[in-house]
Structure 1
Amino acid sequence: MKKDKEKVIDEVWTEDHVRGFLDVRAHDGGSDDFHMLLKAYQSMRASDFELFVKFFQEQGRDVNATGLDGHSVLAIVDEHRHGAEYAEILRAAGAS
């Protein structure tokens, strides 16, 4: 069988595409801010993530929001080998 969708690498994201992540909502009863920030981190290149964090903050959202397990996105990113650039973006936005 043929794959339905091929993986897209280095896709160019428009501002509207990046802003679309501001509509992501948690489906587990957790924090919407945590969920949308985590999904953006998992989906975006660092440059797009930096733009997303700017939009995120413009809406007054919480960069220190935590998941149901009590971990922030920064705590998760800090554990990832390739997360340094993303962690730097979060820290610059006030995450601790």
Structure 2
Amino acid sequence: MAERKDKQKVIGEPMTDEQIAVFLDFSPEEGVNGDFHVLEKAYRALRAEDFTRFLAFFKDQNRDLDARDPQGRTLLSLIDQHPKGAKYAQALRDAGATA
């Protein structure tokens, strides 16, 4: 069946706080900073507006927005290289990420 041009595509329902907070509990692989790991998981899986909400939960737990991966890179430094990462990078900066 052909998609009607006048129908708007819906890309998922709004996420609940509980669904977003799940990303705080992902365990990292050995040798990976736990804060970096959950930030990266959330970045890869969440829409920008949900990622912004995730960052509020992350900060409420006094976690490190400038956590580094095993190569010494922060998520902000990685996202700054992604053409479509501007909203995510801005959300990190607004939350207090500096590196």
TM-score between both structures, scaled by the size of structure 1: 0.87
Q: Are 1:94 and 2:73 matched, yes or no?
A: no
Gap regions ≥5 residues in structure 1: 1-8
| Larger Rg, first or second structure (1 or 2) | 2
Write the deviation string for residues 8-37 of structure 1: whole angstroms up to 9, x where unpaired: x43431110100001012113211000000
In the comparison of the two structures, how many residue pairs are matched? Answer: 89
What is the aligned partner in structure 2 of residue 53 from structure 1?
Answer: 55
Question: Which amino acid in the other structure matches residue 29 of structure 2?
Answer: H
The Cα RMSD (Å) is 1.4
Which portions of structure 1, spanning 4 or more consecutive aligned residues, are displaced by more than 4 angstroms?
none
What is the aligned partner in structure 1 of residue 23 from structure 2?
Answer: 21
Write the deviation string for residues 37-77 of structure 1: whole angstroms up to 9, x where unpaired: 00000000001000000000000000000000100000111
Paired with 2:19 and 2:78, the residues of 1 have a C-alpha distance of: 24
Q: Percent identity?
A: 43
Paired with 1:17 and 1:30, the residues of 2 have a C-alpha distance of: 23
Paired with 1:11 and 1:41, the residues of 2 have a C-alpha distance of: 18
What is the aligned partner in structure 1 of residue 37 from structure 2?
Answer: 35
Gap regions ≥5 residues in structure 2: 1-10
